[in-house]
Structure 1
Amino acid sequence: MKWKLFKASLLEIGSARITGEPADASEQSHAGPGAGEKGSVFFSAGGKRVRLSIDDNSPVEIHHFGDGRAELIFKDTKVSGVIEKTGFHCPRQAYITVSEGCIYNCRFCNVPSQPPRIKTPEEIVKMVAGVKDRIDCISITSGVIGNPKEDETRVLEVIKELRAFRLPIGVSIYPLLGTPKRLKDLGVLEIKFNLETATDELFTKMCPLLNRQEIMDALTASVSIFGKNRVFTNIILGLGETDDEMKQCIKELTQAGIIPVIRPLNPSGELSDLKRPSAKRILEISDFLEGELLKTGLSCREAKTMCTLCTGCDMVPGADS
């Protein structure tokens, strides 16, 4: 079995049903398109990992034998592995959302429909302390409650407290002018500011209250501030862009020193009637990304925090081969 082909097929489905012994699922997500789901599992085998939402009607089965030992069954393929324990949100990380909620209404996202809640720095420190024996890094993300400046201030206060753990810290928030330097000055190692769409036109349709150029400007500034292989951005695959548009976006980003995280669409929010991208398309775009990273001397395998380190939700060149 070639893992890359198998994982692409699993990402096309995006879910699994759990059979056998009860299995611990990750907590409900409070950020991004998966916000509000009832949980997910991280299945790994031979150092490879995939995250699948729990769905009792899924064609993918994960049979849990107990103590994390499991077998993933899809069509004619069976893979023995484990259901991994999470720190927060994903294995080996405390990936924590500061502001659960958002004033913006991006069409692909469920976050604005969730009850708003803001975690205090003290609460987050306590969360990290509770899992410090099974994490290698801390990743911080946030919606926007109030306004972006207020939310950035909250995140900066959290980071000041988290430095005491002496772990790599990655941050993904909506950036303002000067945000990259303020984060770097506090010791943040990596950032991820999300462009979300392959084109400006799609961004205007999907996130009418946000400014894509502001995000791109922050990403470009971050490359010189954070250095090589430390600047990332999510691009959703399946919002209506063409393959050529996605490839052009990947080219522009990699040539600027930015590593795109190509995230297969999780149909939710106003887009719940759309389909996830096909395994064939996921593979084609992943292979193209891998080639562009090689051309520009970038590597996903240098990541120390956030999604590119985890690899669960996406095809990650260098990890999923």
Structure 2
Amino acid sequence: MSWKDDVNTVLERDPAPRSFGEALMFSPGLHAIFLYRTSHRLYEKGQYKLARAINYASRVLTGTDIHPGAKIGKGFFIDHATGVVIGETAEIGDNVSIFQGVTLGGVSTSKEKRHPTIGNDVVIGSNATVLGNIIIGAGSKIGAGSVVVKDVPPNSTVVGVPGKVIKVDGRKEAPEATVAPLPDPLAHTLDEVRRAIAGLDSRLNDIEERIMHTADKKATLLLSGPVKIPQDMELPFRASCSTAGPGAGSTGIVLAFEGTRVKKAVSRDRGDFELVPNGGTYSLCRDGEVFIEEVKIEPVVFHAPEQAFFNLDNRCIYGCSFCASPLLEESQEKGHTPEKVMRMIVEAHHKVGFDAVAITSGVPDTAERTVERIAEVVRGVREALPSVTIGVEPYISEMEQIDLLKEAGADEIKLNIETYDRGIFEKVCGKKDYDLILRSIEHAVEVFGRGRVTSNIIIGLGESDENVLQGVEHLAEIGSVATLRALRTNNMNRNALASEIGSVRPVDKDRLLRLVRAQKDILERHGLSTLTFETMCNRCGCCDIVPFVDIR
């Protein structure tokens, strides 16, 4: 076969060249065949190095790699040429056409016939791969991108990975007819991914169920009465007597279980639950049955785990009807001066786990003077313990007071709106300014930053769920995180609440959990989280269901 026959083959099968000369000069596949035929003649004469040198030059010039040892018949056509690889023991019959990217490769390293045999009149589409010592029957067509590893009958059409025979002699084959029993690697990988995802979904569902089960138990504890402890039981840590917050006036301990914790009032005489020693740990029982199998008693620094949480003064001129702090007996008042608090904090910083300070106060005289006392403590702590994180919980009457607390060294601030229902606010906190509090929260975000400002919204004052979530949304829009707190009633505040808002219905556990789940969704939508807080209630988590901690 002469070189002219190879040029004519190009003219017959490629419509692009318009003349013999154009085909001769500008067809890289043709040039690859020319160079192959030269190298093959040298190879058969034993001039292997020279043959390989021409083969190498062909690869550089045309982008094809045809081993000189391959046997190729007449009428061979390579379209576009780039990326074609033909191995040493490959045999190609007459009038075969292949396109760019085709590989006729081997699957063995032994020095024997290890490459395909291609029958006459075969067409192999671009990027197809034919591997091993197999036979592709005459007149067959291999679809673009197919991978063929087994013999193909004559006059067949093959497509896919692995290659599947879809036609023989023009007749469609059954779908299961396949060139190779080789498993589909992509399908296998996808199956593994699906199984892994299904397993993860199952595990996540299990985890979510456990978390919700734990949150349900915590909500039950938060909304119930005290824990009875045995008369002769000695607590491993000193109980805490709070003058602020939900537990004001009660003596309590922190119980940790299943990744969460709750602060509960304790009594040696009566309780809704009973703490039962259990070989180094404790069980919590209710009505004679185990409610939580294993609980631990956690130490507090001052009134909170990991934090020195101080109330400078429980007296308050505003007299919010839900707040028990101003109603404490004189024997329960701590009488903490700023100097005493600073000294106690500095002494406490050696305690295990101590890493935060929180300062709050009632307003015994004016908001201005109270803020100045809080700022005095903050400055003293900041000077003595420059690396400790400090949170403050004041009532303010001027925006400048927020700036003062920040300048003193506070890192976080809590400004309580208490309820987003203006009508209820005016009944239970009538001496306070609803609009001033909202403006102060907005200003505090400007001063302290997003995710550094929080505010209590009390649940159980007669507000609607819609109103609660409107409040959460409003606060989130300005960059503040609400703390949803269930109303706690006792002998000190029950009558005052009844006179202002009528009879008080206990907060329902399901309602509390439902609202906190909705709150979490709102916070996520606004890019906020309780996890950014390092002080006060979101960090402590003992008195509330905390999104991202108890609800995830």
Are residue 309 (structure 1) and residue 539 (structure 2) matched?
Answer: yes
Task: Note closer, same or farther for the CA distance 1:66–1:150 as it changes in structure 2 (3 Å cut).
Answer: farther
What does 1:197-208 align with in structure 2 at a 5 Å threshold? 197-208=419-430
Distance in 2 separating the partners of 1:212 and 1:26: 36
Are residue 218 (structure 1) and residue 440 (structure 2) matched?
Answer: yes
Q: Contact 1:22–1:66 (CA<8 Å) still a contact in 2?
A: no
Distance in 2 separating the partners of 1:168 and 1:251: 27
What does 1:1-321 align with in structure 2 at a 5 Å threshold? 1=210, 2-19=213-230, 21-23=233-235, 24=237, 26-37=239-250, 39-55=251-267, 56-65=269-278, 69-74=281-286, 76-114=290-328, 115=330, 118-132=335-349, 133-134=351-352, 135-163=354-382, 164-166=384-386, 167-177=388-398, 178-268=400-490, 269=493, 270-271=496-497, 274-321=504-551
Distance in 2 separating the partners of 1:145 and 1:117: 14
How many pairs are equivalent?
319
Distance in 2 separating the partners of 1:278 and 1:54: 22
Q: What amino acid sits opposite 2:293 in the alignment?
A: V
Distance in 1 separating the partners of 2:261 and 2:385: 26
Q: What amino acid sits opposite 2:295 in the alignment?
A: G
Which stretch of structure 1 is more off in the superposition, 311-320 or 159-168?
A: 159-168
Distance in 1 separating the partners of 2:293 and 2:451: 32
Deviation sequence 1:70-97 (CA, Å, 0-9, x none): 2223455323121111111111110001
Distance in 2 separating the partners of 1:25 and 1:64: 17
Task: Note closer, same or farther for the CA distance 1:288–1:120 as it changes in structure 2 (3 Å cut).
Answer: same
Distance in 2 separating the partners of 1:53 and 1:264: 16
Distance in 1 separating the partners of 2:430 and 2:277: 43
- Where relative contact order (Cα < 8 A, 6+ residues apart) is larger, the structure is 1
Distance in 1 separating the partners of 2:335 and 2:372: 12
Q: Contact 1:170–1:190 (CA<8 Å) still a contact in 2?
A: yes
- The offset of 1:285, in angstroms, is 0.7
Secondary structure of the residue aligned to 2:548 is coil
Distance in 2 separating the partners of 1:64 and 1:90: 23
Task: Note closer, same or farther for the CA distance 1:66–1:173 as it changes in structure 2 (3 Å cut).
Answer: farther
**Structure 1 gap segments, 5+ residues each:** none
Q: Contact 1:191–1:230 (CA<8 Å) still a contact in 2?
A: yes
Distance in 2 separating the partners of 1:169 and 1:222: 15
Deviation sequence 1:138-186 (CA, Å, 0-9, x none): 0000001111111111111111111111310000010122122111112
The two structures, once aligned, show a CA RMSD in angstroms of 2.0
Task: Note closer, same or farther for the CA distance 1:66–1:22 as it changes in structure 2 (3 Å cut).
Answer: farther
Deviation sequence 1:53-78 (CA, Å, 0-9, x none): 224432222224586x3222345532
Q: What amino acid sits opposite 1:13 in the alignment?
A: S
**Structure 2 gap segments, 5+ residues each:** 1-209
Q: What amino acid sits opposite 2:407 in the alignment?
A: D
Which stretch of structure 1 is more off in the superposition, 153-162 or 116-125?
A: 116-125
Distance in 1 separating the partners of 2:345 and 2:254: 20
- The offset of 1:271, in angstroms, is 3.1
Distance in 1 separating the partners of 2:506 and 2:276: 24
Distance in 1 separating the partners of 2:233 and 2:347: 26
Name 2:171's counterpart in structure 1: none
Which stretch of structure 1 is more off in the superposition, 87-96 or 14-23?
A: 14-23
Q: Contact 1:21–1:66 (CA<8 Å) still a contact in 2?
A: no
Give the TM-score of the pair, scaled to structure 2: 0.55
Distance in 1 separating the partners of 2:428 and 2:226: 24
Task: Note closer, same or farther for the CA distance 1:216–1:70 as it changes in structure 2 (3 Å cut).
Answer: same
Secondary structure of the residue aligned to 2:355 is strand
Task: Note closer, same or farther for the CA distance 1:88–1:52 as it changes in structure 2 (3 Å cut).
Answer: same
Distance in 2 separating the partners of 1:66 and 1:186: 47
Give the TM-score of the pair, scaled to structure 1: 0.93
Which stretch of structure 1 is more off in the superposition, 209-218 or 28-37?
A: 28-37
Runs of 4+ in 1 over 6 A off after TM superposition: none
Secondary structure of the residue aligned to 2:223 is helix
Task: Note closer, same or farther for the CA distance 1:66–1:126 as it changes in structure 2 (3 Å cut).
Answer: farther
